[in-house]
Structure 1
Amino acid sequence: MLDRTEQGRSTGTLKPRIAFLGTGWIGLNRMEAMVAAGSAEVVAVCDPSEEMRSKACELASEAEAVGSLEEVLDIAPDGIVIATPSALHAGQAIAALERGIAVFCQKPLGRTAAEVEEVVAAAAKADRLLGVDLSYRCTEGMTRIRDLVRAQEFGHIFAVELEFHNAYGPDKDWFYNRTLSGGGCLIDLGVHLADLALWTLDFPQVETVQGGLFRGGRRLGGGSEEVEDYAAASIRLQTGTSVRLSCSWNLHAGQDAVISARFFGTEGSAQWRNVGGSFFDFTAERYRGTAAEVLACPPDDWGPRAACAWLRQLSLDPGFDPGACSYLHSAQIIDRIYGR
């Protein structure tokens, strides 16, 4: 006879018991979406800020507020959502996975490709689901473009151009400490761009990577302990595709943000971009010659979509998804741009 957990997973009716480690803006947003969907039982919240813990408990009144990761693990949730500073991600994820707990982590999964590889290996060994909040994959526009690219609607994609320029910078000091963050705007924003390119093109092999890092307009040398506020890279894929990406903090952008991904093919092209400087509103179009077709436009509640997809999968099967191996590919590109 199946026990309650096995029965629930076989029918897709089980509400996984979820803990939240880090309940700042992003953690609360993901929690709110899960609670609103009625698809999770939030059993624990952990954050160093009493104010943030209180806000989390307002959303999930049955959750236990605890003071450490060890206390969270002792509650033995089915899954844990990690939204803590970057330096903690790999260690916290591995600790949870080794206790048989599935993980959904904010990006970056690790500060280096080596850390990412360790987490993925831990998930595979524990046979537990691992997800990363690469949320731009889940925008309607990028999903449409990816489907069209993989259906070869644009012929051979020979060039990709991506940018993410933020007119502001992070408001927490740890972002500017390389030991704590792993880097500057490249690991904060560029990881999204590298992932979007590889994910859309179905993860081709990378041949060459060349990049440059800047701080306050000065080019940073190898081994610099300063974190960059501007990064640019040129990547050549084994398919012959040329990928260029650039990202920045505190750029004179003329608006809050400039975010876009352009895919150029022999039979057409497509563009995904933010609208009016927004961090949240995106449009997507496909082009053939001078003709343009709208693929997607606001509104689109894409933010918590990756987290909710992980939760749905967890309710069906908590086992390791080999797709998690893809997280290493973009981490390796970021490492190569940093010269690591």
Structure 2
Amino acid sequence: MITALSSTKPEQKPLSLGFLGLGWIGRNRMEVLLKNTHSEASVIAEPVPENAEQALVYAKNAKVMDATDEIYNSREIDGIVIATPSAMHARQSIEALEAGKAVFCQKPLGRTSAEVKKIVAASLKADKLLSVDLSYRYTSALQAIHKLIKNDEIGDIYAVDLAFHNAYGPDKPWFYDIKQSGGGCVMDLGIHLIDLALWNLGFPEITEITGNLYYQGKKLHSAENQVEDFASVSMTSEHNTIINLECSWNISAGKDAVIEATFYGTKGSLAFRNINGSFYDFVAEKYAGTQTEVLVSPPDDWSGRAGIIWAKAVQAGKGYDYKSAREYIKVAELIDRIYGR
């Protein structure tokens, strides 16, 4: 009698993660990662005790460390999740990559394109995956629109309208300090829209940019000393596609938020928009003349989806990604141009 040999594979080791910054977004991304990937929170670093205590509810076995270099040098750590203020992103991302850790960072990756290029160079040298939480790409509504655009459903796109108005604005003082934030509503909100517009258009070169930045209703003549709370920007691509962007903080929007991206093509239009002023609920619609077809509607549990994709790619052994790295640089260079840098 021949006894069959067991074909059971050894269980895969959980992805060991370190978390820097455990405010609301940091805790949300941690919770989603731990629930939806084969990973564990090994180490956390958070200066606010209340935030650290709340984070430990999800990561009961995590070590709490004050010195970030201890986290980078922890041999068991595979990746670092960064949700700290923007001024820290470049240094922390570079140090983590140089220590051989994959990085998932909140936007903006850097305050300038120079910072972003240094981070990308560190990712290339270490051959470690670098990803940025440009989360709207991963909503079901935007995914549906992207697929239809790739399939030429609306023909040649000649215009894109983008809007992101936040009736509240940030609640942390550092957002209003340009040295710490790198910019105002364009850096905070517009970056999402610029990324998704370029992504859907295939990242064309932008040949022309004109725009106006405002703070409390007064036009800014230099973005070096003051963050903007309202921006109106017009961009033209190498294919003569016009891209119009408006974004704001603390505007009288009549609702919590207005978030929209509409793509106008020679055979129809596609729109991504929030409903009822929500920051979380989106629809995708297709327009043909006066007719509207709803493609995607809530619910959609998209929060943290970008992090899940990053974690699974790291677990699978993926390293430096040239395509996404170039996209991060292009978006950062465009924002520099909007600010006149």
Q: Same fold (TM over 0.5)?
A: yes
Distance 1:14 1:147 in 2: 34
Show the counterpart of 2:36. Answer: 37
8 Å contact from structure 1 (residues 87, 181) kept in 2: yes
Distance 1:172 1:282 in 2: 26
The more displaced of 88-97 and 199-208 is: 199-208
Residue 261 (structure 2) pairs with residue 261 (structure 1):
yes
Residue 310 (structure 2) pairs with residue 310 (structure 1):
yes
Show the counterpart of 1:337. Answer: 338
Distance 2:283 2:47 in 1: 37
Aligned AA for 1:20? F
Distance 1:272 1:121 in 2: 34
Distance 1:12 1:172 in 2: 43
8 Å contact from structure 1 (residues 159, 242) kept in 2: yes
Identity of matched residues, % = 50
Show the counterpart of 1:271. Answer: 271
3-state DSSP of counterpart to 1:44: strand
The alpha-carbon deviation at position 58 of structure 1 amounts to 1.5
The C-alpha deviation readout for 1:18-76, integer Å capped at 9, x for no partner, is 11000010110011011112521210000001111111111111111111211211223
Distance 1:211 1:222 in 2: 12
8 Å contact from structure 2 (residues 37, 311) kept in 1: no
Show the counterpart of 2:25. Answer: 26
Show the counterpart of 2:293. Answer: 293
Distance 1:14 1:146 in 2: 34
Alignment of 1:46-65 (within 5 A): 46-65=45-64
Provide closer, same or farther for how the CA distance between residues 173 and 287 of structure 1 changes in structure 2, counting only shifts above 3 A.
same
Q: Which has the larger radius of gyration?
A: 2
Distance 1:206 1:303 in 2: 30
Alignment of 1:91-170 (within 5 A): 91-170=91-170
The alpha-carbon deviation at position 124 of structure 1 amounts to 0.8
Aligned pairs, how many? 331
3-state DSSP of counterpart to 1:254: coil
Instruction: Give the superposed CA RMSD.
Output: 1.4
The alpha-carbon deviation at position 160 of structure 1 amounts to 0.3
Aligned AA for 1:39? H
8 Å contact from structure 2 (residues 37, 308) kept in 1: no
Aligned AA for 2:259? I
The alpha-carbon deviation at position 290 of structure 1 amounts to 1.9
Show the counterpart of 1:327. Answer: 328
Unaligned runs of 5+ in 2: 1-8
8 Å contact from structure 1 (residues 146, 201) kept in 2: no
Distance 1:248 1:20 in 2: 30
Aligned AA for 2:44? V
Distance 2:112 2:13 in 1: 35
8 Å contact from structure 1 (residues 12, 316) kept in 2: no
- TM-score after normalising by structure 2: 0.95
Distance 1:11 1:273 in 2: 45
The alpha-carbon deviation at position 339 of structure 1 amounts to 0.2
Unaligned runs of 5+ in 1: 1-9
The alpha-carbon deviation at position 288 of structure 1 amounts to 1.2
The alpha-carbon deviation at position 81 of structure 1 amounts to 0.3
Distance 2:178 2:334 in 1: 18
8 Å contact from structure 1 (residues 12, 315) kept in 2: no
Distance 1:224 1:312 in 2: 40
Show the counterpart of 1:7. Answer: none
